[in-house]
Amino acid sequence: MENSRRRERFLRVSEKRLNRALAAIDSLKNLSSKSNYDYNKKEINHISGRLLAKVKLVMSSFGSFNAEERFQQLLDQDYIQFDLLKSSDPALYDLASKYLKNGKMYTAWLRNNKKPETDENSLINKFRDLYTELENRNLSKSSRNQNEDFFILNPEFSLDNLRARHNIDRIIWLKNGRQYKDIVASDSPYRIHPDINKRKPIPNLKWDIKRNRVIQAPNNSILI
């Protein structure tokens, strides 16, 4: 009975919040009017980067995934977005299709997901299903193990600001998100440093966070 109530509450609340989030994102489209606003590509990429990073962080809070599962999750969301271009921007969809038509990964995804869904309601349903799956696997913050804490590259940080090869390599490695256990692993790039006394992953991670290179998920069991 309790599970049924929690399930019903999730379906009701998640749809309302998702609709509000989609409406807020839609409001950004008004900024694209050149007759009312002036902007450059860097500023638009900044907005896009922050939105995408926030989505990744929010999704990571619903459960614990290994790197392969997180990567597949990102692919699924990208492919859903790509399919939506059929109705929202046919010209862009046709151009992208020319680049992807021979892509084995996309072809496999279409085969595994049967008929792609393209309208906004279908997208909401897909997100709701994903949220449900994640909720079923979710661990409360109080019961989370630090090994499952999640970290991701700050989208506002540019690799152009780095010069040392070991710093660049570890930031690229962490770009799409890593768990604490990955960062402290014996083969982690966070253990690589020219100075033997600085081959300690946690101090290096703290330094990246302090320098605004890395963001930690707000639901981490321990905030560094």
**114 and 170 in a common domain:** no
11, part of any domain: no
Q: Choose between 73 and 89: higher pLDDT.
A: 89
224, part of any domain: no
Count of beta carbons in the 10 Å neighbourhood of residue 182: 20
Looking at the predicted structure, is the pLDDT value of residue 36 above 80? Answer: yes
The number of residues in the chain equals: 224
Q: Choose between 161 and 79: higher pLDDT.
A: 161
Q: 178 forms bridges with which residues in the sheet?
A: 151
Looking at the predicted structure, is the pLDDT value of residue 152 above 70? Answer: yes
Helix axes 67-88, 41-60, angle to 10 degrees: 130
47, part of any domain: no
Q: What is the mean pLDDT of residues 142-171?
A: 82
52, part of any domain: no
Task: Please state the domain count of the chain.
Answer: 2
**188 and 168 in a common domain:** yes
User: Domain span at residue 114?
Assistant: 65-138
Q: What is the pLDDT of residue 28?
A: 86
17, part of any domain: no
Q: What is the pLDDT of residue 64?
A: 55
**134 and 149 in a common domain:** no
Q: What is the mean pLDDT of residues 173-192?
A: 91
**181 and 118 in a common domain:** no
**120 and 78 in a common domain:** yes
| Contact criterion met (CB below 8 Å) for 209 and 216 | yes
Q: Mean pLDDT lowest for which of 94-108, 121-135, 194-208?
A: 121-135
Residue 116's pLDDT band, with cuts at 50, 70 and 90, is very low
Looking at the predicted structure, is the pLDDT value of residue 181 above 90? Answer: yes
- Which domain-ending residue is among 121, 138, 155? 138
Q: What is the mean pLDDT of residues 169-178?
A: 87
Residue 121's pLDDT band, with cuts at 50, 70 and 90, is low
Q: What is the pLDDT of residue 69?
A: 67
User: CA torsion angle for 111, 14, 71, 68 (degrees, to 10)?
Assistant: -90
**150 and 133 in a common domain:** no
- Which domain-ending residue is among 138, 161, 195? 138
Q: What is the pLDDT of residue 146?
A: 85
- Which domain-ending residue is among 138, 160, 183? 138
**181 and 117 in a common domain:** no
Count of beta carbons in the 10 Å neighbourhood of residue 153: 22
27, part of any domain: no
Average pLDDT, the chain: 76
Q: What is the pLDDT of residue 137?
A: 46
Looking at the predicted structure, is the pLDDT value of residue 187 above 80? Answer: yes
**168 and 193 in a common domain:** yes
Q: What is the pLDDT of residue 40?
A: 87
CA 212, 215, 219, 224 dihedral sign is: negative
